[in-house]
Amino acid sequence: MIVLVLNCGSSSAKFAVIDAVTGRELVSGVAQRVGSAQATLDFKVEGRKESRLLHGAGHERALRAVVELLDELGVAHEIAGVGHRVVHGGAKFSGSMPITPAVVAKIEECIPLGPLHNPANLLGIRIAQELFPALPQVAVFDTAFHQTMPSRAYLYAVPYEWFAKHEVRRYGFHGTSHRYVSQQAVKQLGLDPEDHAVVTAHLGNGCSLAAVRNGASMDTTMGLTPVDGVVMGTRSGNIDPSIIAHMKKALHCTADHVMDELNRNSGLLGISGLSNDMRTLQEAAAEGHERAQLAIDKFCYSVAKAAAGMFVSLGRVDALVFTGGIGENAVDVRARIVELLGFAGFALDAHANAFHGKALRGRITRTTSPMAAVIATNEELMIAMDTAEIASAHGHVEAHGQAGAAPAEGAGDAERPAAERRAFA
């Protein structure tokens, strides 16, 4: 089954057309700077990259341009379903759902929990329903995978009424990535499908770790919103909540302004004063930029400390798996994190780490050490697979293959080299 995967943000619309059976990516791209005079449609097909001006297009015009492109490439008629990434499903969704008016209403109810993402996700759903009225459409939630967390993991130590009346709790994000990578870890690393304990570390511009036991999330680092947890590209990660009130007074500003600073101007960017890009910081640190080095050190310490906490959540660890843009590509960052976890017995295989574990099916630690590995994420494929499975379950027949069938191990990776693969969040 051929699926169009959409991820609409406030100023962008990412897309990919994927064969959910084989994992092959036919075309992918992003409409960037949507709503501005500099709006562009950038895409990749058959290994070549192209870019087109959209001349100030809003989301609707941008998505129509995507459909026109797909028609021009001869793939639009093959699309049999549309899968949407939805960031916040609250506690209302524990799995992917066929999009119905009732599901849309519940996503709207989650807007107070996801004000930065859900409105754009909903806009993408509405436009896609207009563009593809006859196709099944499926919502895949970042938060759904973490609904298996026990209460001791998801509750905050605040007045219980905040949870009962206002839904204040840990929800977690990057669930689609954590689900995909933990499943691939079982296959690629030879873990017991019925008895495994894996910590997945999704490290990109947004970062989170998850503790996964036997395919179910037991704990994660992000919280009510994606700003919680470890240090990220522009997000602070966890801080003393009193900082918000303190800086509101110090800056004579609103709480919203402080939150915007914590979301957009903190993390690696905030500490370094230079960039949120790990590659840029590593280059600057090599040239003696002290704050760039400090940002890298803080990042590695934050991730290692969180990983140790995830070990506690599981009671043991069979594998620590790195994924995401930083996790898949930053050799020195992985090395430092593994070094910081030396107290738990982790010992790096420097040669394997230098090649991102590709020679050892992902493994980057010595055979006498607890296992750490690198496995590329593929959220788009996971969304496509969910869409195919749900479409099949609801009676939509696909002539090109068996909907929902599991792809071959690592399916889709040949078409997308690790350095070019990008996570959605």
pLDDT one-digit tens code per residue, 29-40: 999 999 999 999
Per the annotation, binding residues for substrate are 85
Arithmetic mean of pLDDT, 267-280: 98
pLDDT tens for 247-262 read: 999 999 999 999 999 9
Burial class of residue 106, CB neighbours in 10 A (0-12, 13-18, 19+): middle
Q: Residue 202 forms beta bridges with which residues? A: 208, 323
What residues are labeled active site?
A: 142
Q: Where in the chain is the domain with CATH 3.30.420.40?
A: 2-141, 192-379
How sure is the predictor about 56, in pLDDT bands with cuts at 50, 70 and 90? confident
**Least confident residue range of 49-63, 172-186, 275-289, 400-414:** 400-414
Q: Give the Cα separation of 131 and 56 in Å (integer).
A: 20
pLDDT tens for 317-328 read: 999 999 999 999
Cβ contact 90:143 at 8 Å: yes
Percent of the chain topping pLDDT 90: 89
pTM confidence score: 0.91
How sure is the predictor about 420, in pLDDT bands with cuts at 50, 70 and 90? very low
CATH number for the domain formed by residue range(s) 192-379: 3.30.420.40
Cβ contact 258:244 at 8 Å: yes
Of 6, 73, 10, 83, which is closest to residue 44 (Cα–Cα)? 73
Per the annotation, binding residues for ATP are 14, 202-206, 277-279, 325-329
Q: Give the Cα separation of 149 and 155 in Å (integer).
A: 10
Q: At what angle do helices 278-286 and 290-314 cross, to 10 degrees?
A: 130
**Which CATH number does the domain 2-141 belong to among 3.40.50.300, 3.90.1170.50, 3.30.420.40, 3.40.50.970?**
3.30.420.40
Per the annotation, binding residues are 7, 14, 85, 202-206, 277-279, 325-329, 379
Per the annotation, binding residues for Mg(2+) are 7, 379
- Is the Cα dihedral 299, 302, 305, 311 positive or negative? negative
Residues in the chain: 425
- Residue 242 pLDDT exceeds 60: yes
